[in-house]
Copies of this chain bind each other. A is one copy, B any other.
Protein backbone atom coordinates (compact mmCIF):
# COMPACT_ATOMS: atom_id res chain seq x y z
CA UNK A 1 0.00 0.00 0.00
CA UNK A 2 2.61 2.48 1.10
CA UNK A 3 4.90 1.36 -1.60
CA UNK A 4 2.13 1.57 -4.12
CA UNK A 5 1.46 5.17 -3.30
CA UNK A 6 5.13 5.95 -3.48
CA UNK A 7 5.25 4.55 -6.99
CA UNK A 8 2.21 6.51 -7.97
CA UNK A 9 4.08 9.55 -6.85
CA UNK A 10 7.11 8.62 -8.91
CA UNK A 11 4.86 8.17 -11.90
CA UNK A 12 3.41 11.61 -11.37
CA UNK A 13 6.96 12.86 -11.05
CA UNK A 14 7.65 11.74 -14.60
CA UNK A 15 4.79 13.90 -15.74
CA UNK A 16 6.26 16.89 -13.95
CA UNK A 17 9.79 16.10 -15.06
CA UNK A 18 8.68 16.12 -18.69
CA UNK A 19 7.12 19.50 -18.17
CA UNK A 20 10.17 20.83 -16.40
CA UNK A 21 12.53 19.70 -19.14
CA UNK A 22 10.14 20.98 -21.77
CA UNK A 23 10.06 24.35 -20.06
CA UNK A 24 13.83 24.58 -19.74
CA UNK A 25 14.44 23.62 -23.34
CA UNK A 26 11.69 25.92 -24.41
CA UNK A 27 12.96 28.87 -22.43
CA UNK A 28 16.43 28.25 -23.76
CA UNK A 29 15.72 27.55 -27.42
CA UNK A 30 12.18 28.71 -28.03
CA UNK A 31 9.12 26.65 -28.71
CA UNK A 32 9.71 25.81 -32.35
CA UNK A 33 13.15 24.40 -31.65
CA UNK A 34 11.91 22.27 -28.78
CA UNK A 35 10.90 18.88 -30.07
CA UNK A 36 9.32 15.92 -28.35
CA UNK A 37 12.40 13.97 -29.27
CA UNK A 38 14.74 16.42 -27.59
CA UNK A 39 12.66 16.49 -24.45
CA UNK A 40 12.71 12.70 -24.39
CA UNK A 41 16.45 12.57 -24.96
CA UNK A 42 17.15 15.02 -22.16
CA UNK A 43 15.09 12.96 -19.76
CA UNK A 44 16.53 9.68 -21.07
CA UNK A 45 13.21 8.37 -22.23
CA UNK A 46 11.83 7.12 -25.48
CA UNK A 47 10.07 9.83 -27.49
CA UNK A 48 6.86 7.86 -27.61
CA UNK A 49 6.75 7.59 -23.84
CA UNK A 50 5.94 11.28 -23.72
CA UNK A 51 2.63 10.46 -25.33
CA UNK A 52 1.64 8.36 -22.33
CA UNK A 53 1.68 11.51 -20.25
CA UNK A 54 0.62 14.17 -22.70
CA UNK A 55 -1.78 13.84 -25.59
CA UNK A 56 0.52 15.72 -27.94
CA UNK A 57 2.91 18.64 -28.16
CA UNK A 58 0.01 21.03 -27.97
CA UNK A 59 -0.96 19.79 -24.54
CA UNK A 60 2.53 20.41 -23.24
CA UNK A 61 2.38 23.88 -24.70
CA UNK A 62 -0.99 24.48 -23.13
CA UNK A 63 0.19 23.34 -19.71
CA UNK A 64 3.13 25.72 -19.91
CA UNK A 65 0.76 28.37 -21.20
CA UNK A 66 -1.33 27.99 -18.05
CA UNK A 67 1.79 28.14 -15.91
CA UNK A 68 2.70 31.42 -17.53
CA UNK A 69 -0.70 32.88 -16.76
CA UNK A 70 -0.37 31.79 -13.16
CA UNK A 71 2.97 33.60 -13.00
CA UNK A 72 1.57 36.80 -14.43
CA UNK A 73 -1.53 36.46 -12.31
CA UNK A 74 0.55 36.35 -9.16
CA UNK A 75 2.28 39.56 -10.13
CA UNK A 76 -1.08 41.17 -10.75
CA UNK A 77 -2.45 39.83 -7.49
CA UNK A 78 -0.11 41.81 -5.29
CA UNK A 79 -1.22 44.98 -7.04
CA UNK A 80 -4.72 44.54 -5.64
CA UNK A 81 -3.46 46.29 -2.55
CA UNK A 82 -2.87 49.51 -4.43
CA UNK A 83 -5.82 51.60 -3.37
CA UNK A 84 -5.96 54.13 -6.17
CA UNK A 85 -7.44 52.59 -9.28
CA UNK A 86 -5.42 54.81 -11.58
CA UNK A 87 -2.17 54.09 -9.78
CA UNK A 88 -2.98 50.41 -10.01
CA UNK A 89 -3.67 50.73 -13.72
CA UNK A 90 -0.28 52.30 -14.26
CA UNK A 91 1.39 49.63 -12.17
CA UNK A 92 -0.37 46.86 -14.05
CA UNK A 93 0.88 48.23 -17.33
CA UNK A 94 4.44 48.31 -16.11
CA UNK A 95 4.20 44.85 -14.59
CA UNK A 96 2.86 43.59 -17.90
CA UNK A 97 5.65 45.18 -19.91
CA UNK A 98 8.22 43.88 -17.49
CA UNK A 99 6.80 40.40 -17.60
CA UNK A 100 6.90 40.33 -21.37
CA UNK A 101 10.48 41.56 -21.56
CA UNK A 102 11.80 39.27 -18.85
CA UNK A 103 9.85 36.19 -19.86
CA UNK A 104 9.87 36.56 -23.62
CA UNK A 105 9.29 32.89 -24.30
CA UNK A 106 6.45 32.59 -21.85
CA UNK A 107 4.94 35.69 -23.36
CA UNK A 108 5.29 34.22 -26.81
CA UNK A 109 3.47 31.11 -25.68
CA UNK A 110 0.77 32.99 -23.83
CA UNK A 111 -0.07 35.85 -26.13
CA UNK A 112 1.63 35.58 -29.48
CA UNK A 113 1.29 31.97 -30.53
CA UNK A 114 -2.09 30.90 -31.76
CA UNK A 115 -4.38 29.55 -29.09
CA UNK A 116 -4.55 25.77 -29.21
CA UNK A 117 -8.31 25.77 -29.61
CA UNK A 118 -8.57 22.04 -28.99
CA UNK A 119 -7.71 22.57 -25.38
CA UNK A 120 -9.47 25.87 -24.97
CA UNK A 121 -12.67 24.23 -26.15
CA UNK A 122 -12.25 21.67 -23.39
CA UNK A 123 -13.10 24.22 -20.75
CA UNK A 124 -16.25 22.37 -19.73
CA UNK A 125 -15.89 23.27 -16.08
CA UNK A 126 -14.95 26.78 -17.11
CA UNK A 127 -11.34 25.84 -16.51
CA UNK A 128 -9.03 28.66 -17.45
CA UNK A 129 -9.17 30.64 -14.26
CA UNK A 130 -5.65 31.98 -14.72
CA UNK A 131 -6.32 33.85 -17.91
CA UNK A 132 -9.69 35.15 -16.91
CA UNK A 133 -8.31 36.50 -13.69
CA UNK A 134 -5.82 38.74 -15.43
CA UNK A 135 -8.38 40.40 -17.63
CA UNK A 136 -10.89 40.49 -14.79
CA UNK A 137 -8.38 42.34 -12.65
CA UNK A 138 -7.83 44.84 -15.43
CA UNK A 139 -11.55 45.32 -15.89
CA UNK A 140 -12.05 45.90 -12.18
CA UNK A 141 -9.24 48.41 -12.16
CA UNK A 142 -10.82 50.32 -15.02
CA UNK A 143 -14.08 50.35 -13.06
CA UNK A 144 -12.22 51.72 -10.05
CA UNK A 145 -10.78 54.40 -12.28
CA UNK A 146 -14.27 55.30 -13.39
CA UNK A 147 -15.27 55.60 -9.75
CA UNK A 148 -12.38 58.04 -9.41
CA UNK A 149 -13.78 60.11 -12.23
CA UNK A 150 -11.78 58.74 -15.14
CA UNK A 151 -13.11 57.56 -18.49
CA UNK A 152 -16.44 59.32 -18.23
CA UNK A 153 -18.84 58.26 -20.94
CA UNK A 154 -16.56 55.46 -22.09
CA UNK A 155 -17.49 51.81 -21.94
CA UNK A 156 -15.30 50.04 -19.38
CA UNK A 157 -14.90 46.91 -21.48
CA UNK A 158 -13.62 48.93 -24.37
CA UNK A 159 -11.26 50.90 -22.19
CA UNK A 160 -9.87 47.71 -20.68
CA UNK A 161 -9.48 46.21 -24.11
CA UNK A 162 -7.70 49.35 -25.25
CA UNK A 163 -5.25 49.22 -22.40
CA UNK A 164 -4.55 45.57 -22.95
CA UNK A 165 -4.19 46.00 -26.71
CA UNK A 166 -1.80 48.86 -26.30
CA UNK A 167 0.58 47.11 -23.93
CA UNK A 168 0.31 43.87 -25.83
CA UNK A 169 0.89 45.72 -29.07
CA UNK A 170 4.06 47.25 -27.68
CA UNK A 171 5.31 43.91 -26.38
CA UNK A 172 4.39 42.02 -29.49
CA UNK A 173 6.01 44.49 -31.86
CA UNK A 174 9.10 44.57 -29.69
CA UNK A 175 9.48 40.82 -29.25
CA UNK A 176 8.94 40.06 -32.92
CA UNK A 177 11.59 42.54 -33.95
CA UNK A 178 9.33 44.96 -35.77
CA UNK A 179 9.99 47.76 -33.38
CA UNK A 180 13.76 47.70 -33.67
CA UNK A 181 13.21 47.61 -37.34
CA UNK A 182 10.92 50.53 -37.96
CA UNK A 183 11.94 52.34 -34.86
CA UNK A 184 15.60 52.36 -35.77
CA UNK A 185 14.66 54.15 -38.97
CA UNK A 186 12.33 56.79 -37.60
CA UNK A 187 12.76 56.91 -33.87
CA UNK A 188 16.18 57.13 -32.35
CA UNK A 189 15.94 53.98 -30.31
CA UNK A 190 16.73 54.28 -26.60
CA UNK A 191 17.69 51.44 -24.27
CA UNK A 192 15.81 48.30 -25.25
CA UNK A 193 12.84 48.37 -22.97
CA UNK A 194 12.94 52.03 -22.16
CA UNK A 195 11.33 52.53 -25.53
CA UNK A 196 8.35 50.54 -24.30
CA UNK A 197 8.18 52.23 -20.93
CA UNK A 198 8.48 55.64 -22.50
CA UNK A 199 5.68 54.86 -24.92
CA UNK A 200 3.53 53.56 -22.11
CA UNK A 201 4.17 56.65 -20.07
CA UNK A 202 2.94 58.74 -22.95
CA UNK A 203 -0.20 56.61 -22.94
CA UNK A 204 -0.57 57.16 -19.21
CA UNK A 205 -0.29 60.90 -19.75
CA UNK A 206 -3.13 60.60 -22.21
CA UNK A 207 -5.21 58.56 -19.79
CA UNK A 208 -4.48 61.08 -17.10
CA UNK A 209 -6.22 63.73 -19.15
CA UNK A 210 -9.28 61.51 -19.37
CA UNK A 211 -10.57 62.58 -16.00
Contacts and interface: CB of A to CB of B under 8 A. Distances in A.
Interface residues of A, number: 50
B206 A154 contact: yes
A159 B199 CA distance: 7
Contact of A203 (B135, B162, B198): B162
Contact of A158 (B117, B132, B181, B202): B202
Nearest to A207: B206
A111 B177 CA distance: 9
B132 A182 contact: yes
- Provide the main secondary structure of the chain A interface: helix
A176 B131 contact: no
A40 interface: no
A41 interface: no
A29 interface: no
A8 interface: no
A17 interface: no
Interface in A132-166: 132, 135-136, 139, 153-155, 157-159, 161-162, 164-166
Contact of A169 (B115, B159, B172, B186): B172
A153 B199 CA distance: 14
A114 interface: yes
A177 B209 contact: no
B155 A202 contact: yes
A72 to B, nearest CB: 13
A10 to B, nearest CB: 35
A123 to B, nearest CB: 9
Q: Which of A115, A154, A172, A195 has the most CB of B within 10 A?
A: A172
Interface of A: 111-115, 117, 120, 128, 131-132, 135-136, 139, 153-155, 157-159, 161-162, 164-170, 172-173, 176-178, 181-183, 185-187, 195, 198-199, 201-203, 205-207, 209-210
